[in-house]
Structure 1
Amino acid sequence: MAISAEKIWTDFAESHQLTNKTFQTRWFGEQSNSKEVSELTDKILAGDKIATSKPLAYYSSKDEPIPQVGDYAVLLNADMHAVGIIETVVSELVPFFRVSAEHAYNEAEGKRTLEDWQERSKNKFAAQMNKYDRQFSTNDPVVCEVIKLVYRV
């Protein structure tokens, strides 16, 4: 039986005395691609995927706040069931071509090299921004985030 995101958050917040904190729900990958979401969720739960990135313009296009250090999110799996809680431990704005090899490796996708990350991300970011009638350029800034799994169901 699936536990609600609200219940997981309430239990976690109470046990960690987080009285003034709120949470969001979050999944990684395209929600329409359950295989991708499952793979990325498994990598987070295993401790392999500890980083992610999106173009800065994505956040304004979606009217979403940029992740901030100390933000919490209830991690959802491909079935949109809560499986854990993650915390943002680093959130920085980096020009696309200045993203580090360490960050690329920590995203735990593809070959885990900087060159592979640049090629895959260039295509992924262009497709993401195209959905909002915007262009992505490799001159654009990218929000690079490091996450930590702080609770697992």
Structure 2
Amino acid sequence: AVGVSKPYTYILGGEEDPLPQSGDYSIILNSKDEAVCVIQTTKTTVVPFDEVSKEHAYKEGEGDRSLAYWRDVHEDFFAEEFAETELEFNGQTSILCEEFKVVYRAIDVN
């Protein structure tokens, strides 16, 4: 729903794109590269992977919303992503935790 805050997590490491900042707007695309919504970043925090908070994991809303579930899923995902690079993923790898609100939702694009 428009106005709902939702966190998201990025992994940092050699990316060229600037990090989102509070107040930034982003267009979110679906798997067909169609715009589905516009979000506004409300909060960003950079922490080591091992220090992502249980609050962030809960807000992200995946699985049972626990930090253990979040870590299992994200560790597997990030390790896979890092396997394609020369960088090493570990518990001290910097993670960008982003919270945002949906400011515009497109009409069903399917």
Alignment counterpart, residue 87 of structure 2, candidates 134, 141, 145: 134
Question: Which amino acid in the other structure matches residue 50 of structure 1?
Answer: K
CA distance in 2, matches of 1:112, 1:49: 15
The structure with more helix, counted as a fraction of residues: 1
CA distance in 1, matches of 2:67, 2:5: 15
Aligned to 1:23: none
SS at match of 1:97: helix
Query: Judging changes above 3 Å, is the alpha-carbon distance between structure 1 residues 49 and 80 closer, same or farther for their aligned structure 2 residues?
Result: farther
Q: Is 1:53 aligned to residue 9 of structure 2?
A: yes
What are the ranges of 5 or more consecutive residues in structure 2 without an aligned counterpart? Answer: none
Larger radius of gyration: 1
Paired residues in the alignment total 106
1:108-151: per-residue Cα shift (whole Å, max 9, x none)?
22221101111111111111122222110112221110011011
Identity of aligned residues (%): 36
Question: Which amino acid in the other structure matches residue 73 of structure 2?
Answer: R
The structure with more strand, counted as a fraction of residues: 2
Moved over 2 A (4+): 45-49
Shift of 1:80: 1.4
For the 8 Å contact 1:68–1:88, the answer to whether it is kept is: yes
CA distance in 2, matches of 1:68, 1:130: 28
Question: Which amino acid in the other structure matches residue 54 of structure 1?
Answer: Y
Aligned-residue RMSD, C-alpha = 2.0
For the 8 Å contact 1:87–1:147, the answer to whether it is kept is: yes
What are the ranges of 5 or more consecutive residues in structure 1 without an aligned counterpart? Answer: 1-44
Alignment counterpart, residue 47 of structure 2, candidates 82, 94, 107: 94
Aligned to 1:80: 33
Alignment counterpart, residue 18 of structure 2, candidates 54, 57, 65: 65
Q: Is 1:120 aligned to residue 73 of structure 2?
A: yes
Q: TM-score, normalised by structure 2?
A: 0.84
CA distance in 2, matches of 1:131, 1:110: 26
More relative contact order, 1 or 2 (CA 8 Å, 6+ apart): 2
SS at match of 1:74: strand
